[in-house]
Structure 1
Amino acid sequence: MKQIPAIYDNVERWTFGYTEEETKHLLELITLGVKTATCTLYEADNLPEAGDAFIIIGADSEPACSVEVTHVKVTTFLKVDEEHARAEGEGDLSLAYWQNQTRAFFEEFNMFSYDMPLVCIQFKLLEVFDN
């Protein structure tokens, strides 16, 4: 098990991706500074705030890095803009790509609607944890 600094002992863990390959790819985008945003379905009792830190879990189920939330915006699917799509760092960085992928993801769980509330989260890389 990786040793991480004690300041992260009580920090929430995030995972990205549903396959080992996807998780590795998204983690690489984060550590390269390409992926600096994500979005999630709005939950009033679980809204991150600027300054919150999170641990990103790698494909090996171990802590890989830490990030700090820099900006949070609650919006709807149709109001997510090109800037956020680009910051998510995936595909061709376009809004159309983001819409297609995000819609497919939420449809898989029967949760998609054009007016569904989303939390758009921007973050910055704090630290990469060595093996």
Structure 2
Amino acid sequence: MNPQAKAYWDTYWASQKQEAPTKVTAWKFGGQPDYLAERVVKGLKTATCSGRIVYDLENEPLPEVNDYSVVLNSKDEPVAIIRTSDVTIQPMNEVPESHARAEGEGDLSYEYWYRVHVEFFTNELEKYGMTFKDDMLLVCERFELVDVN
């Protein structure tokens, strides 16, 4: 976590008058970090997803319910704090329309979500020498907005 995100996190939790959670990460949304962070702040984006395989390739733990994250913009500046409220793993071609809509992107349609995610995951997997398949496993998260910076 960069110094700005840590300062934001520490200040927020000091104001809560309770012990801070031990697990917190700071990251930006792939593709369009500023646009997606703005959608979180406006309450339009309450879900996200990522390729399950990437967690293995990067030796990263899977998200869990009650994990906290500092959402960063494209300049790595803290924008908001979110709390993970649900995590499921499912094939991309079985992600329900309700989850796609909760991701808050584009025109909120499943078709838009699917198209941009095929493009995103195709590009992401190419970095690892892998090919996109429509049944690739996704880690689908729902989250709640906790604070806006």
TM score, norm. by length of structure 1: 0.86
Q: 2:132 pairs with 112, 117, 121, which one?
A: 112
Cα deviation for residue 92 of structure 1 reads: 1.1
Query: What is the one-letter code of the residue matched to 2:8?
Result: I
- Within-5 A mapping of 1:55-94: 55-94=70-109
Aligned pairs, number: 126
- % identity of equivalent residues: 36
Q: 1:37 pairs with 40, 47, 54, which one?
A: 47
* 1:107 aligned counterpart, secondary structure: helix
2:43 aligned with 1:28, yes or no? Answer: no
More helix by share: 2
- Within-5 A mapping of 1:38-53: 38-42=48-52, 43=55, 46-53=61-68
**In angstroms, what is the RMSD of aligned CA positions?**
2.0
Greater Cα radius of gyration, structure 1 or 2: 2
Cα deviation for residue 14 of structure 1 reads: 1.6
What are structure 2's unaligned runs of at least 5 residues? 14-19
Moved over 3 A (4+): 7-10
Task: Provide closer, same or farther for how the CA distance between residues 114 and 28 of structure 1 changes in structure 2, counting only shifts above 3 A.
Answer: same
Q: 1:4 pairs with 5, 8, 20, which one?
A: 8
TM score, norm. by length of structure 2: 0.76
Instruction: Judge conservation of contact 2:80–2:148 (CA < 8 Å) in 1.
Output: yes
